[in-house]
Amino acid sequence: MNKVAFIGAGNMNASIINGLIKQGIDAQSIIVSNPSPQKRIALADSLGIKQTASNIEAANFADFIILGVKPHFISDVCQEISQSVDISTKCFLSVAAGCTIAQMERSLRHGAAIIRTMPNTPAQLGLGMTGMFACSAVSKEQCDYAEQLMKAAGETVWLDKEEQIDNITSISGSGPAYFFLFMEAMQQQALAAGFSPEVSRKLVQQTALGAANMVVYNSDLEISELRNNVTSKGGTTQAAITTLIDGGLIPLVGSAIESALNRAQEIAQQNS
């Protein structure tokens, strides 16, 4: 059985570990390392996994090493591990935004098995969306296991080119915030109509949940068909949709996603 080391006991790694334990993976096949003790010990105590303050001990224990530290720590952590651990059979999986494979290879070694991923925050609920790209040194078996690991946090999709990670960042990575903004705008109108904050929130969150589930449970229908189905000619929904479309919502969303993409590309370029 593969053993997995999680470097960093923060939000993203905790989400993945929680998902793995829920799936029934043996807790003793997982180790988490983090220099400061609180989060690491709390995580280990609540889930029964191993823990250590040493990244090297964690990396020595494992076949898969999940790099879940902030992007600016990735190079240091990779260097620390590669200087003291035989990494020839290990597979590294990074969740760090903007850290390229070239950057990690420089700190590990050229030809190291590295998978770059871009999850999003709903991973905390097991409802994440993760884009994954594997460099050519990663074997089919390693890809399969890495996919199984990330599926603990939600859905996954494999990418053909590393650059597509930037597109993933701009669509699903930053995407939850786009929906939050739309919900905030609706909530403001509900408040303005005189509903209490609690009722306003309930109206918006249940509508968002229902709409998302309509899309999920009607996978044979285009999203535009679902919209058309609730848009009667001359009715209230059509009045609102016309206002949104005439107001430029569709190109505006396109520009927003392009802005996020440009920023992701700039950050990746700084790190490549």
Contact 152, 126 (CB under 8 A): yes
Nearer to ligand NAP, 52 or 228 (CB): 52
Q: Which span (63-71, 104-112, 151-159, 220-228) binds ligand NAP, by CB under 6 A? A: 63-71
Q: Lay out the site mask for ligand NAP across 189-228 (x = CB under 6 A, - = otherwise).
A: ----------------------------------------
Q: Lay out the site mask for ligand NAP across 157-176 (x = CB under 6 A, - = otherwise).
A: ----------------x---
Is residue 130 a contact point for ligand NAP (CB under 6 A)?
no
- Residue from 22, 35, 197, 235 touching ligand NAP (CB under 6 A): that is 35
Q: Which span (31-39, 149-157, 250-258, 259-267) binds ligand NAP, by CB under 6 A? A: 31-39
The count of chain residues that interact with ligand NAP, using the rule CB under 6 A, is: 26
Nearer to ligand NAP, 175 or 200 (CB): 175
Nearer to ligand NAP, 36 or 88 (CB): 36
C-alpha span between 88 and 90 (Å, rounded): 6
227-to-4, 208, 233 alpha-carbon distances in Å? 44, 13, 12
Q: Whose CB is nearest to ligand NAP?
A: 10
22-to-19, 135, 143 alpha-carbon distances in Å? 5, 29, 21
- Residue from 4, 10, 50, 187 touching ligand NAP (CB under 6 A): that is 10
Nearer to ligand NAP, 129 or 190 (CB): 129
Instruction: Give strand pairing partners of 102.
Output: none
Q: Which span (17-25, 30-38, 143-151, 153-161) binds ligand NAP, by CB under 6 A? A: 30-38
C-alpha torsion sign, points 152, 202, 10, 45: negative
Nearer to ligand NAP, 149 or 190 (CB): 149
Contact 138, 159 (CB under 8 A): no
Nearer to ligand NAP, 157 or 241 (CB): 157
Give the shortest CB-97-to-ligand NAP separation in angstroms: 4
Is residue 73 a contact point for ligand NAP (CB under 6 A)?
yes
- Nearest CA to 260 out of 197, 171, 139, 170 is that of 170
Q: Which span (1-9, 101-109, 131-139, 201-209) binds ligand NAP, by CB under 6 A? A: 1-9
| Residues near ligand NAP (CB under 6 A) | 7-13, 33-36, 39, 55, 68-71, 73, 77, 95-97, 119-121, 173
